[in-house]
A and B are shown apart, each in its own frame.
Chain A
Amino acid sequence: MRHHLILRVVTKLLVGSIILFAFYVQFHGDFSPGGGFQAGVIMAVAFILYGIVFGLGKAQAVFPPWVVHKMVALGVLIYAGTGVVSLLLGYGYLDYDAFAPHHPSHGQHYGILAVELGVGVTVTGVMVAVYYAFAARPARLSDEEW
């Protein structure tokens, strides 16, 4: 008898829809409640759930730690890079009007999407990195090892 059969089956069902819901929250963030922070946490939950049920090794095969650590920095780079691009276009730092000078409301739209993408990438990376850091810590020392 394989242990945790029900949890495995339900997890396989749920992980895909959790990721889909994360993308929905991510890209619907400028119309409805949601945005980068919430979407990042939901996306990380999918990987953490997978890691809890199937084991840390499987989760790290899907989402290696070096990718996670790069994502943490990449999101900040996207956020700051959006501001630098608007600077280079001759506007203020993070002035979204720069992205569509003739339709400022469209410019706000694009700018918010880019910034929220950066936030989502970083939050996903940080959450999964925290989980990896706790789950991969070595076993507690026994008394003989002191």
Chain B
Amino acid sequence: MLDTLINGIAWVLILSGSFFTVVGAIGILRFPDFWSRLHAASVSDSAGVILLLAGMCVYTGWGLITVKLIVIGLVLFVTGPTSTHAVANAALVSGLRPPEGKGLKGAEPEPLSNPTVDPTPI
């Protein structure tokens, strides 16, 4: 009974994680421009990976593997948004701007204090 319950929870988590990942992949393919594609890739990936890892944790039970999965989750939780930030930052610095929609003004970046990027920061 308990085994069935645990397996059920694990499968629900893993399948919903897969759903988020697949939706993110479709978003990368179908969205029109760079910024919305980046949004689809980053947000859904974070959610999908965390749900997948949580499902695997529930499935394996408590043990060394669970600790390793939690550490993997922490690393992905930190590095995923950071890499998204780096990509978005590079696009903004190199001049790519979100398109202006009807009645919406595209985001204007605040000017950098030093417009040329310092090649050797501190």
Interface residues of A (CB under 8 A from B): 1-4, 6-7, 10, 13-14, 17, 54-57
Contacts and interface: CB of A to CB of B under 8 A. Distances in A.
Interface residues of B, number: 16
B79 A7 contact: no
Interface of B: 75, 78-79, 82, 85-86, 89, 112-114, 117-122
Contacts of B79: 10, 14
B111 to A, nearest CB: 10
A13 B81 CA distance: 14
7 interchain residue pairs of minimum CB distance: A55-B120, A10-B82, A6-B85, A1-B113, A7-B86, A55-B121, A10-B78
Classify the secondary structure of B's interface with A.
loop
B121 A3 contact: yes
A116 to B, nearest CB: 21
A4 B88 CA distance: 12
Contacts of B119: 55
Contact of A13 (B78, B112, B120, B121): B78
B85 A7 contact: yes
